[in-house]
């Protein structure tokens, strides 16, 4: 398959940050004209660490990312940050405030920071974020950090995006029963107890260490627990946090899990993309296309139930494979 490489893709590969920023907007906007760029970049994507930083509001994710970026620059690595914040379900607007904690030399070309709004599409967001992280990898960033609130059904599913998931917590988030609940605690490859300068931090760390010791359920990796504090100068635990992340990345390579995990993520991504496209197409046509209108009329008149109608819609779709 030979296709001309679109000039935008060429520019992104050559390090043009504006071309990159524009292409990211197009992906966010579900602009179909970006498809040739995405396609052309795909073969240039390298397997870089994509580190998800998840956790409740106010635990210090943005501050940690700022310090992780500084640490990575110290180590000579280039790094891109994608910070996802929620969109308002009412106005569709959002305030993306993760840049506030972000500082760097304005002329440092080795760092790129982009804010993304969730835009209400819980499922599709993971796919868009993955497309963006791949663009960043193709643009030669050696590490990608993805910041996100939570990891439930409404928020971005961190594990569908990240190669290493860091869950950030603080002391006094609740008793140890919280750690038994499903969700955030199950996805962590690394736990970060931030604000470790506060009283109760050592207890939180011990609770987590115990939980981790009990679990050891997911494969052969035992999640790490790292204490950090972004408040003092110099901050505490940042180098340790990065080396825990690197240890997990090394484990992915040594155990062969990187390939199996990536295969799983790609499968999820394809399913999501198809679901989004088919769903959008159908919602546009359901009360417009004559055949579908008639079917809907029948359902409204209680002659056909919605489930049967859905089966018919599905049956009449052209299929392949």
Partner 1 sequence: MPHAHPTTPIRVLIAKPGLDGHDRGAKVVARALRDAGFEVIYAGLRQTPEEIVRAALEEDVDLIGLSILSGAHMALFPRVLALLKKEHAANIPVFAGGIIPDEDARQLKRAGIRAIFGPGTSLQEIVTTAQRLVRSAA
Q: Which of 63, 87, 151, 164 binds partner 1 (CB under 8 A)?
A: 87
Q: Which two three-digit tokens encode residue 28?
A: 């966010």
Residue 202 binding partner 1, by CB under 8 A: no
User: Residues 211, 215, 218, 220: is their CA dihedral positive or negative?
Assistant: positive
Residue 15 binding partner 1, by CB under 8 A: no
Count, residues near partner 1 per rule CB under 8 A: 31
Rg (the chain; Cα; Å): 22
Residue 73 binding partner 1, by CB under 8 A: no
* Minimum separation from the CB atom of position 249 to partner 1 (A): 26
Q: Which is nearer to partner 1, 91 or 153 (CB)?
A: 91
In whole angstroms, what is the distance from residue 106 CA to residue 104 CA?
6
Residue 17 binding partner 1, by CB under 8 A: yes
Q: CA dist 319 to 313, 314, 315, 316, Å?
A: 12, 9, 9, 9
Residues 73/66, Cβ–Cβ less than 8 Å = no
Residue 100 binding partner 1, by CB under 8 A: yes
Residue 9: φ, ψ to 5°? -65, -45
Of 259-318, binders to partner 1 (CB under 8 A) are none
* Minimum separation from the CB atom of position 35 to partner 1 (A): 12
* Minimum separation from the CB atom of position 116 to partner 1 (A): 9
Residue 95 binding partner 1, by CB under 8 A: yes
Q: Which two three-digit tokens encode residue 276?
A: 């989004």
Q: Which of 5, 13, 22, 269 binds partner 1 (CB under 8 A)?
A: 22
- The closest alpha carbon to 87, from 50, 117, 52, belongs to 117
Of 128-167, binders to partner 1 (CB under 8 A) are none
Q: Which is nearer to partner 1, 28 or 155 (CB)?
A: 28
Distance of CA 203 to the CA centre of its chain: 30
For partner 1, which stretch binds (CB under 8 A), given 110-118, 149-157, 200-208, 310-318?
110-118
Residues 295/313, Cβ–Cβ less than 8 Å = yes
Residue 255 binding partner 1, by CB under 8 A: no
The CA-to-CA distance between both ends of the chain, in Å, stands at: 20
Read off the DSSP letter of residue 59: S
Residue 211 binding partner 1, by CB under 8 A: no
Residue 121 binding partner 1, by CB under 8 A: no
For partner 1, which stretch binds (CB under 8 A), given 36-44, 112-120, 153-161, 238-246?
112-120
- The closest alpha carbon to 126, from 100, 99, 152, belongs to 152
Give helix 257-285 / helix 238-255 axis angle, nearest 10°.
90
- What residue ranges bind partner 1 (CB under 8 A)? 17-18, 21-22, 24-26, 29-31, 33, 87-88, 90-97, 99-100, 106-107, 112-115, 117, 119
């Amino acid at each position: 398959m030979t296709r001309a490489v679109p000039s935008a893709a060429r520019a992104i590969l050559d390090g043009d940050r504006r071309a990159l920023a524009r292409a990211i907007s197009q992906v966010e906007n579900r602009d179909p004209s970006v498809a040739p760029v995405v396609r052309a970049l795909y073969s240039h994507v390298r397997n870089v660490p994509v580190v998800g930083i998840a956790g409740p509001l106010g635990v210090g994710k943005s501050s940690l990312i700022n310090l992780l970026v500084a640490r990575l620059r110290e180590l000579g690595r280039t790094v891109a940050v994608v910070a996802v914040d929620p969109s308002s379900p009412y106005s569709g607007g959002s305030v993306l405030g993760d840049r506030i904690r972000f500082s760097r030399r304005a002329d440092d070309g080795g760092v790129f920071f982009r804010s993304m709004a969730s835009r209400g599409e819980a499922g599709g967001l993971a796919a868009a974020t993955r497309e963006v992280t791949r663009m960043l990898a193709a643009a030669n960033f050696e590490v990608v950090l993805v910041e996100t609130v939570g990891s439930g059904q409404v928020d971005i599913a961190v594990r569908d995006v990240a190669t290493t998931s860091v869950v950030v917590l603080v002391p006094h988030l609740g008793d140890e029963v919280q750690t038994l609940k499903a969700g955030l605690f199950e996805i962590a490859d690394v736990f970060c107890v931030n604000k470790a300068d506060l009283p109760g931090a050592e207890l939180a760390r011990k609770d987590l260490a115990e939980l981790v010791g009990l679990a050891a359920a997911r494969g052969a990796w035992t999640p790490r627990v790292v204490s950090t504090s972004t408040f003092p100068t110099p901050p505490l635990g940042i180098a340790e946090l990065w080396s825990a992340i690197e240890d997990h990345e090394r484990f992915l390579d040594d155990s062969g899990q990187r390939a199996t995990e990536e295969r799983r993520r790609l499968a999820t991504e394809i399913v999501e993309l198809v679901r989004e496209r088919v769903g959008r197409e159908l919602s546009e046509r359901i009360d417009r296309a004559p055949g579908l209108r008639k079917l809907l009329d029948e359902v409204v008149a209680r002659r056909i139930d919605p489930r049967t109608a859905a089966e018919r819609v599905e049956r009449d779709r052209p299929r392949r494979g």
